[in-house]
Structure 1
């Protein structure tokens, strides 16, 4: 449904009158900034780009008006798993916890993941994200051999097919021990050839007082060496548990500083940091800031998985110290993570939903401040993209809402939003779930759908 309150401008050049936007996303406010961090302005588009941000009353009176509705830059989603997405109906998590997620997804990948069905699920997800107003996505790809031989070429083709609509970045994910030896070098070479990002998972547990495994630091140094030799950035799944002995985050920061690592490091999850001693927290954050690390937080997925015990109400939200990280100068992004698979039964790659739920879960209001950057400008910077801001000269990739105030924006799904791509109204619509039915049957795949491994 399209709202009659949201204009649908036509033509290569036009003004939008009386828009409202987050001041933290503009180069400079064009008027007063209210208590929610919002400012009002007129916006000019020429030849697919933002040509002007001007004070109210600058636009001609006949120009369409947002009547104070909000205008956002297109969203950026810097941590997803498109290879796993939408398998829930075929492979539900039996109890909703992390172990159940690993078991259900591994079994499904062995029995069902084939080129055609993975392409269908990933394309469905990309169409959903595009309709919601996302312009860039980083996806992690399970990269153990032989699966990587099928998934990486497939997603490279999807990246080309979606160029100009969604910028798609590829990142490996595998247990850290898989990056040691010939298999690790081969994976790093594949990532480099594909223009991707090197990623892995740290798996530590136990009690905070327990020493780190003797082989942990040598493996971590080896991962850094693989990236350094190939000029790769790192994007790491870190400390995604409630076990206080999972403290790789500090060691990653210290290793980056010791090695003077020149690439970009993004770390995701970092859940258990909230449960560790405050002195360790402070030391970790200081090292992270010094190492110029970025954090991507997955609030919906981690609330779903962490501290889940059958018949017991969770005592812990499962998310990390985002406010303390921001205060320490560490850039923070929010992202979708998993959608409708064993790690998270819900989600639709709608970054407004991610921002809405992050605000509620993490108390990112009173004031809202600069947190709108966490689904726009910060993930764009993490991906090395000039996106996520309302800037003169930027592509007119915008999401328009009839909602004027933040409590209006975050109280409804905003299903009537209008998405502009290159200044033109997008006619993209959300795909029907029924499209996936043929791929989600519980039986074995047909011979024609066998994995191309």
Structure 2
């Protein structure tokens, strides 16, 4: 088996592998119609020592025969909610709607989210992510005060404990109006003190993503000011609805340009854009491109939530205009979002699953183009992690080895037989068992 052929020590070659050009910083040879390059990869001292055209590896030394199977870099999950994951068994979503999810999470947070509870579920998600081959994660933390202090303490401890296995970042999440007045100062200081990213949702407390309130712009400027004063990056939940009145994305892009905001800004969801008039959508996408915003889409979660009504088949996929954004030069990533909580009843922190399902939902094929980068290189760049999400000489040998040779093979199966390599060695881990959380979520 492929797993058993990786040596426990010493250098080796991955011979006759396919690597998608979207993961490569330099092209070692020609690529086929799907963008795949046939290569030999040398691994030495935990790093990638060479990437050569297939068939050029020397005969001496240890060889791992890939037989044309694909090699992917460790993947990057730029938008998750590890603090609320896996509460579904004790607090489900009664109707599967966005409003139902908000109410369920608020109820569960008030009743159950001690530091011990958050840590148990948070770390379970990290273990699953690591097993699947994720090397970096940005998680949003519910930062309603006073609860938010608990979440940030848990994050800080786990960030340190998991250093070297998963690079962990965190962003605050709370409604925009929470950042007004003294509470906003306290929230921004909390984020800054913990090395975080300032984040919010473009709805107000108790509301949904619909028509912008009359005082939206001054509240948005106040949020930008909080970030500017502390030198913080921003990560925003934007227009997560099918309401054409949800038009915050354009205002965020224009505000970033007007203020000359210098730090990176990532925006997530942006669902309502796909239901806007064409002229307004084009204008918004141009503003996003001009402002240099990064967009992260969460297709599994949004297809689950959006357009849901009892007894009615959904009429749209709940996702934004990713192809139009890429054509305009916008950096677009895909991410896992919620796992087994009221916002999404499923999920297993598996970025290969996210990419596979994103291809089907968003039609990221015919051609494949550079869309594989949306699960690796692009989110890494959005998070400022320039060595992650790519396969390059001198980078750490953090890799995923797949039996699938062509994109249709990789995209047709869950790839449960993948081999995860970290620092050149096979990861010997097991997926965490759901039963481990039984006492945490009240199932025991």
* Residue of structure 1 equivalent to 2:265: 265
| 1:93–1:104 Cα contact (<8 Å) kept | yes
Instruction: Give the structure-2-normalised TM-score.
Output: 0.96
* Residue of structure 1 equivalent to 2:50: 52
Q: 1:428 Cα shift?
A: 1.6
| 1:5–1:66 Cα contact (<8 Å) kept | no
* Residue of structure 2 equivalent to 1:403: 404
* Residue of structure 2 equivalent to 1:71: 71
1:39 aligned residue (30, 37, 40): 37
Q: 1:7 Cα shift?
A: 3.7
Change beyond 3 A, Cα 1:33–1:179 = same
Q: Distance in 1 between matches of 2:57 and 2:95?
A: 56
- Where do 5+ consecutive residues of structure 2 fail to align? none
* Cα offsets for 1:235-287 (capped at 9, x unmatched): 00000001100000000000000000001000000000000011111111111
* Residue of structure 2 equivalent to 1:99: 99
Secondary structure at the aligned position of 1:200 is classed as: strand
1:22 aligns with 2:16: no
Q: Distance in 1 between matches of 2:7 and 2:24?
A: 21
* Residue of structure 1 equivalent to 2:376: 376
Q: 1:33 Cα shift?
A: 1.1
Secondary structure at the aligned position of 2:150 is classed as: helix
1:87 aligns with 2:81: no
* Cα offsets for 1:43-88 (capped at 9, x unmatched): 0111111110001112134512101000000000000000000000
1:388 aligns with 2:370: no
Q: 1:10 Cα shift?
A: 3.1
Q: Distance in 2 between matches of 1:103 and 1:393?
A: 48
| 1:293–1:330 Cα contact (<8 Å) kept | yes
Q: 1:6 Cα shift?
A: 7.6
* Cα offsets for 1:293-347 (capped at 9, x unmatched): 0000000000000000011100000000000000000000000000000000000
1:217 aligns with 2:248: no
Q: Distance in 1 between matches of 2:308 and 2:140?
A: 24
| 2:120–2:437 Cα contact (<8 Å) kept | yes
Secondary structure at the aligned position of 1:64 is classed as: strand
Q: Distance in 2 between matches of 1:7 and 1:207?
A: 52
* Residue of structure 2 equivalent to 1:172: 172
* Residue of structure 1 equivalent to 2:133: 133
Q: Distance in 2 between matches of 1:428 and 1:373?
A: 26
Q: Distance in 2 between matches of 1:422 and 1:437?
A: 33
Secondary structure at the aligned position of 1:32 is classed as: coil
1:420 aligns with 2:443: no
What RMSD, in angstroms, separates the aligned Cα atoms of the two structures?
A: 1.6
Please list, as runs of the form range in 1=range in 2, the aligned pairs for 1:177-326 lying within 5 A after superposition. Answer: 177-203=177-203, 212-326=212-326
Q: 1:432 Cα shift?
A: 0.7
Q: Distance in 2 between matches of 1:115 and 1:290?
A: 41
Q: 1:136 Cα shift?
A: 0.3
Q: Distance in 2 between matches of 1:367 and 1:207?
A: 34
Change beyond 3 A, Cα 1:75–1:206 = closer
Q: Distance in 2 between matches of 1:263 and 1:29?
A: 31
Q: Distance in 2 between matches of 1:401 and 1:234?
A: 35
* Residue of structure 2 equivalent to 1:448: none
Q: Distance in 2 between matches of 1:375 and 1:206?
A: 29
Q: 1:151 Cα shift?
A: 0.8
| 2:74–2:398 Cα contact (<8 Å) kept | yes
Secondary structure at the aligned position of 2:48 is classed as: strand
Q: 1:11 Cα shift?
A: 1.6
* Residue of structure 1 equivalent to 2:158: 158
Q: Distance in 2 between matches of 1:149 and 1:23?
A: 43
Q: 1:32 Cα shift?
A: 2.3
Secondary structure at the aligned position of 1:438 is classed as: coil
Q: 1:39 Cα shift?
A: 1.0
Instruction: Give the structure-1-normalised TM-score.
Output: 0.95
Change beyond 3 A, Cα 1:206–1:172 = closer
Q: Distance in 2 between matches of 1:193 and 1:183?
A: 15
Q: Distance in 2 between matches of 1:21 and 1:10?
A: 23
Secondary structure at the aligned position of 2:116 is classed as: helix
Higher mean C-alpha deviation, range 62-71 or range 300-309? 62-71
Runs of 4+ displaced beyond 4 Å: 3-6, 204-208
| 2:209–2:241 Cα contact (<8 Å) kept | no
Q: Distance in 2 between matches of 1:193 and 1:113?
A: 22
